[in-house]
Amino acid sequence: MIMKHKMKNNVEVERKSNLIFGYFTKGESLLWSSSIIMIIISFVIFDRMNYLILIDSIIGATSLIFNAKGNPFGQFLMIIFSIIYGMTSYTYAYYGEMITYLGMTAPMAVFALISWLKNPYNGNRSEVKVNRLKKKEIPFMMMLTVMVTVVFFFILQKWNTANIIPGTLSVATSFMAVYLTFRRSAYFALAYAANDVILIVLWMMASMSDLSYLSVMMCFIMFLVNDLYGFINWLKMKERQSA
């Protein structure tokens, strides 16, 4: 028992020694800084005009590194990102993205923020307590996802949304992601990663008529990397919290 306690203390000391400024690890700092650099470079090469997209991309990348740590501040930044991204989507008639982020992701991020603040791990408000979904909740989530997706498809069809099929798939993955985020499941990051892949395709299609949208595509490529890291880190958090 004493040996186990010493090993746990050694792991904790080693973990803290790898932190920068007492919070982010060196790897996390490198991930965030490289994401910001790539976003700025792509903006300089492909855009140079829409600074709102640049600012939103930086906010989004920053929110993801906080979300990867289970920090509620990431959800606060996600609310801001969703509002600006919804406005950006409107400019290319991606009404699905606009409605999804303004009507679903932003409001759900508010609920997720409240949920994360109410469920800190061991009283530490900078880390949420990871939740395990019950088996019976998964079919319920899938049913809700299908219902929301079908409703949104007809709304998008009525609005003559550009690239409606990938747009509808984006709605499905976005809803699943925000639901899992609200429920504090580690799989929210994996759902967002799936959504990133769809958004990369969407903005790649948009860039065929306007190269400036390549900067948005690059933004979601970096988001994909961050979300995959977030999923891995949440699995580690779940294991550590369970121990």
Q: Is 236 within the bounds of a domain?
A: yes
pTM: 0.86
Q: Is 31 within the bounds of a domain?
A: yes
> Would you place residue 3 in the very low, low, confident or very high pLDDT band (cuts 50, 70, 90)?
very low
> Would you place residue 179 in the very low, low, confident or very high pLDDT band (cuts 50, 70, 90)?
very high
Q: Tokens 């996600």, residue? A: 78
Contact criterion met (CB below 8 Å) for 90 and 99: no
> What beta strand segments (E) does the chain contain?
19-20, 24-25, 120-121, 124-128
Q: Is 17 within the bounds of a domain?
A: no
The count of structural domains within the chain is: 1
Q: Is 19 within the bounds of a domain?
A: no
- Which pLDDT does position 14 carry in this prediction? 46
In tens, the pLDDT along 49-67 reads: 888 888 999 999 999 999 9
Q: Is 4 within the bounds of a domain?
A: no
Q: Tokens 């508010």, residue? A: 110
- Which pLDDT does position 18 carry in this prediction? 52
